[in-house]
Chain A
Amino acid sequence: MTFEYAPAPESRSIVSIKPKYGHFINGSFVAGKKHFPTINPATEEILSHIALGGTSDVDKAVMAAQKAYTKTWSKLSGKERGKYLYRIARILQERAREFAVLETLDNGKPIRETRDIDIPLVAAHFFYHAGWADKLDYAGLGHNPKAYGVAGQIIPWNFPLLMLAWKVAPALATGNTVVLKPAETTSLTALLFAEVCQQAELPDGVVNIVTGDGSTGSAIVNHPGIHKIAFTGSTEVGKKIARAIASTDKKATLELGGKGANIVFDDAPVDETVEGIVNGIFFNQGHVCCAGSRLIVQESIAEEIIEKLKVRMAKIRVGDPLDKNTDLGAINSKEQLIKIKELSAIGDAEGAERWSPQCDLSNKGFWFAPTIFTGVTQAHRIAQEEIFGPVLSVLTFRTPQEAMDKANNTPFGLSAGIWSEKGSRIFWASQHLKAGVIWANTFNKFDPASPFGGYKESGWGREGGKHGLAAYLKNGKETGAK
């Protein structure tokens, strides 16, 4: 007996998208000069036209942010700043469905994820950081730590509004003002967030949003009025930013690439582990910097795990992101789809064995079936390079030490997973793994109270938790006894 799912589409009537958007500077929308289309990656339908920010737009935004910092925001007590953040959190909760639908339309990720994960976490981030605003003396950074001033924030397309929240919430809580650039392909929820700032009566200029492409981002990075850069994106661009600010006093947090190892020991609970592997690599179409993109499984159970994984993968529902039953949505852009196809072709060429379940993929939009490569060795490019798509490379190991060596054998160090029923083995492995975030018997979990960020070439600094505050504050006076 087979069960079929009837379509269960979420209505898009809740969102109203304007045909054209400008930038959000000093509390109001200002017209852009040039525009580019933003599309729904599931259908290639043009949703709207986004302003391409140039240096003069960035300049205006930075000036507004500077003015807001000196005239208003830095003079406000932490208590009052916090209340603005609480307001924002509440409005985000009230308008959660609208944000979820809009995010799914613009990004291509399933409504189940935007509704249940992205948007609730966005509100949680603002709520969490709101409470820090008047407690910064207790953040372990000395007495009365000070904001930097204007933070330039550049965010990616994989979790558009969530990355905005990760950046904007701590910046505002710590007393900085913001110039934010959303990713080229996913600006719509950031622009809707601008409306939330208006509804919350956030003082003008505290949050400024300039849309655009890489050139807009580099105008922000190089602007002399910016004191702090926060970037999430590729390691390649992260290094460019590090070079660009090398001779300045600008501080930076960089949240970059990864090639997360998901390590399965022979005593792992098999069914839970298979679910965890699926969640590790197919969550958000694999567009996750901390994705568990390398499965490192103990040889004695590899066959069983892979067999069960294939059975499970055949049940993944790929399709309309607005359908509430969909597990795997659209690839965010044509460029990303090309990149995934290219690296997968290299996997074939280097001798790994590719497998995907049978999937009916639409001719319109950008799609890639969930895929695993077995017989992968450490030298293969699909074991070293970030694919940023629903593609899993499977490697095996015999001894626990070999698993650690393989897991650590990349320039990255963002995330890792450990699957085992043995507590001491989990802690042993978590001590040996060079990664900033480790999930034991789970994967891809996020929380505003939990610091996130990587070792080595996965970046600089942490976001979230007490540790994330350090990214936006200068150390205050030491309070310790001498």
Chain B
Amino acid sequence: MATKKESRVEVKKTYKLFINGAFPRSESGRVFEVTAKNGDFIANPALASRKDLRDAVTAARAAQSGWSKATAYNRGQILYRIAEMLEGRADQFESEIVFTSHVTPAKAKALVAEAIDRWVWYAGWSDKLQAVSGATNPVSGPFFNFSISEPQGVVAIASSDSFLEFIDAIAAAVVSGNTSVVLVPGGLAVPAMSFAEVLATSDLPAGVINILTGSLDELAPWAASHMDIDGFDISGIQKKKHGALKEAGAENLKRIHSFGSGKTPARILAFMESKTVWHSVGV
């Protein structure tokens, strides 16, 4: 019988990838180390490989048709659900952000609060995009002619190491019906994989958001040249490296864009494609 109270050993989390709604390790077996500012060990997240990227794209492509055909109302509710799940775990994200990106607790708290509010903001866009970006076009002839915006398909995202920018990029890509493969650098791996747990409990269909952690220098060129990726948000990549990615992306004329921080529907529309339908009118 123990007389002295034993100090409890914390159960630490294994950080893996998020592909097709599951949490596999990298097929390569590779990991990298994330440490705190003082050098203390935090985690060994997976260092995603090119094969992991391909698997994630396959999952995103398979999820594309279902997600893009879900009603806008349904997509909006799922995005709102993500906000709900995130709110409930705000403390965890705040402390992970403090550990891995060395911001003050107050700053981390504000960041997480804003990230939650962003999901709410984007959720509301799902069924308003057509009203803003669509048109009926008065053509000279007996035709009913209208333009609507559709998701492009599979959008890759090279995230910066900011949790809020990570959220912005993902929400802007998927609210319209795109599916995504998100590439996450460095210490952001820790909150990003916790965020994957939020996604896994938000009724989000498997494969809509896939998250790979590792090196953007490795992953981004692979994504740029992947022929089954339609769009690529490279906001998290330094400007001097944009040229090489755009050159590689030209092979399938990928839509490659980067954005500053801040929320704007232009970011959503950048990964949508306008479709114009002419319908003949007559009896």
Contact = CB atoms under 8 A, between A and B. Distances in A.
Interface of A: 124, 140, 235, 238-239, 242-243, 246-248, 254, 256, 411, 426, 430, 435-442, 445, 447, 449-453, 455-457, 459-460, 462, 465-467, 475, 478, 480
A462 B279 CA distance: 19
B273 A455 contact: yes
A118 to B, nearest CB: 15
Given A239-B251, A447-B137, A465-B137, A439 B275 contact: no
Interface in B52-91: none
Contacts of A411: 252
Contacts of A243: 246-247, 250
Is the contact region of chain B dominated by helix, strand, or loop, or is it mixed? mixed
Interface of B: 132-133, 135, 137-141, 143, 145, 147, 152, 230, 242-247, 249-253, 255, 264-266, 273-280
Contact of B140 (A124, A426, A455): A124
24 contacts: A124-B140, A242-B247, A242-B253, A243-B246, A246-B245, A246-B246, A246-B247, A246-B250, A247-B243, A438-B275, A438-B277, A439-B277, A442-B278, A445-B141, A445-B278, A449-B138, A449-B140, A449-B145, A450-B147, A450-B278, A451-B135, A451-B147, A455-B152, A459-B253
A427 to B, nearest CB: 8
A331 to B, nearest CB: 28
A327 to B, nearest CB: 20
Nearest to A439: B278
A440 B143 CA distance: 9
Given A442-B143, A447-B141, A450-B276, A242 B246 contact: yes
A478 B259 CA distance: 15
A449 B146 CA distance: 10
Given A242-B247, A467-B147, 20 more contacts: A140-B132, A140-B133, A239-B251, A239-B253, A243-B250, A246-B242, A246-B245, A247-B242, A256-B253, A430-B275, A435-B275, A436-B273, A436-B274, A438-B275, A447-B137, A447-B140, A449-B138, A449-B139, A459-B253, A475-B266
A450 B145 contact: yes
A467 B135 contact: yes
Given A435-B275, A436-B274, A442-B278, A465 B135 contact: yes
Given A247-B242, A447-B137, A450-B137, A438 B247 contact: no
Nearest to A430: B277
A368 to B, nearest CB: 28
Nearest to B264: A478
Closest 7 CB pairs of A and B: A247-B243, A246-B246, A242-B250, A447-B139, A246-B247, A441-B280, A449-B137
Contacts of B135: 451, 465-467
A449 B147 CA distance: 11
A469 to B, nearest CB: 11
B140 A239 contact: no
Contacts of A436: 273-276
A411 B251 CA distance: 11
B175 to A, nearest CB: 16
A450 to B, nearest CB: 5
Contacts of B279: 426, 440-441
Given A243-B247, A247-B243, A445 B139 contact: yes
B250 A453 contact: no
Contacts of B277: 430, 438-440
A451 B137 contact: yes
B276 A437 contact: yes
A445 B281 CA distance: 13
Residue in A239, A452, A456 with the greatest tally of chain B CB atoms within 10 Å: A456
